[in-house]
Amino acid sequence: MKDEKKYLFDHPKNIKRLLYLLYSCCILLFILDFFIHRDVSHSGENLWGFYPLYGFVTCVVLVRVATWMRTFLMREEDYYANETMDNESMDDKAIPHGDDVSNSRENVKKKFLPKIEGHNVDD
């Protein structure tokens, strides 16, 4: 019954509005760089759009590098559980998990195989 109720971001229009608001703010902030005088302490700051570019580029690099790190750092969820628990029950009694825990390793293996897809903002 509750599912039928439409919430704020169930309307794609609202998401679009939010994104347009972000884009406009970004454009405005970039333009402000040309009009507002700032005290420069670091040589890089002399560049127009230094902070916007630095923020954008470093974040993209951060995410790409982190994604690449997954290729050699990611293991199945119960990677450590196999040895440290000596095959004792790993079920978290206090906090019930929704998924079938016994199946989780298989799930992760399956997830490794297909191409990784991101969450879409429009979801």
- When asked if residue 34 is in the footprint of another protein (CB under 8 A), the reply is no
**Structure-token pair, residue 106:** 């298989």
Give dist(CA 73, CA 14) in Å, integer.
37
- When asked if residue 100 is in the footprint of another protein (CB under 8 A), the reply is no
- When asked if residue 120 is in the footprint of another protein (CB under 8 A), the reply is yes
| Residues of span 38-77 touching another protein by CB under 8 A | 38-39, 41-45, 51-60, 62-67, 69-70, 72-77
Give dist(CA 15, CA 121) in Å, integer.
8
Give dist(CA 93, CA 89) in Å, integer.
10
- When asked if residue 21 is in the footprint of another protein (CB under 8 A), the reply is no
- When asked if residue 114 is in the footprint of another protein (CB under 8 A), the reply is no
41: amino acid identity, one letter: S
- When asked if residue 2 is in the footprint of another protein (CB under 8 A), the reply is yes
